[in-house]
Amino acid sequence: MQIKRLRLSGFKSFVDPADLRIEPGLTGIVGPNGCGKSNLLEALRWTMGETSARSLRGAGMEDVIFAGTATRPAREFAEVSMLIEGADAEETEIVRRIERGAGSAYRIDGRDVRAKDVALLFADAATGAHSPALVSQGRISAVISAKPTERRAMLEEAAGIAGLHVRRKDAEQKLRATEANLLRLDDVIADQD
């Protein structure tokens, strides 16, 4: 999977719409302290479904919305769009939007989807909000000091099998619900005998 374009609007310090085209090969982002380099990485993680405000250096999820400065008023929403290209050369656009008081919404290629659908899409592509492919400041020491179970989760995410666990859990839930229905059916049939 390759990220081809990132479009931000109202996300943290990116108050005005900003478009970043990411060309094949190595991309470096340089700039003075506080210019928004880490915010860009957080925009990627946020669009991939990050649910922890703390890991986005905020107290609440709405902290990703531009909070205003002495000269510019705060924004009411933040939106990030990510264009990716899969191994099959197909392009997919993922959009996450948050409005004050209204929470987050996701779209894949213009269709409203659940957070889970976005998480599965990235898990299948062996990446995602918690993927070891995204290394933010302090993460290296976190990987080194991770417990074996945590390190296993990182390896599974890197291997692209994390999505299978989610699907297995879903399937097990459906199986339990079906078994409960069958039991009820047995009761109903027994009552009629």
**Coil, strand or helix: which one is 141?**
helix
* Positions 67 through 126 that interact with ligand ATP (CB under 6 A): 67
Q: Which of 1, 2, 22, 37 binds ligand ATP (CB under 6 A)?
A: 37
Contacting range for ligand ATP; rule: CB under 6 A; set: 64-72, 97-105, 152-160, 169-177: 64-72
- The span from the CA of 183 to the CA of 61, in Å, is 43
Three-state DSSP state, 9: strand
67 vs 164, which CB is nearer to ligand ATP?
67
Contact window for ligand ATP (CB under 6 A) among 28-36, 85-93, 152-160, 184-192: 28-36
CB contact at 8 A, 92 and 83: yes
Instruction: Kindly state whether residue 9 participates in binding ligand ATP, applying the rule CB under 6 A.
Output: no
Residue 13 interacts with ligand ATP (CB under 6 A): yes or no: yes
Token pair belonging to 69:
């400065």
Burial class (CB in 10 A: 0-12, 13-18, 19+), 12: buried
Choosing from 63, 85, 93, 156, the residue that interacts with ligand ATP (CB under 6 A) is 63
C-alpha separations of 59 from 103, 128, 183 in Å: 15, 22, 46
35 annotated to a ligand binding site: yes
Task: Write out the binding residues for ATP.
Answer: 32-39
Task: Write out the binding residues.
Answer: 32-39
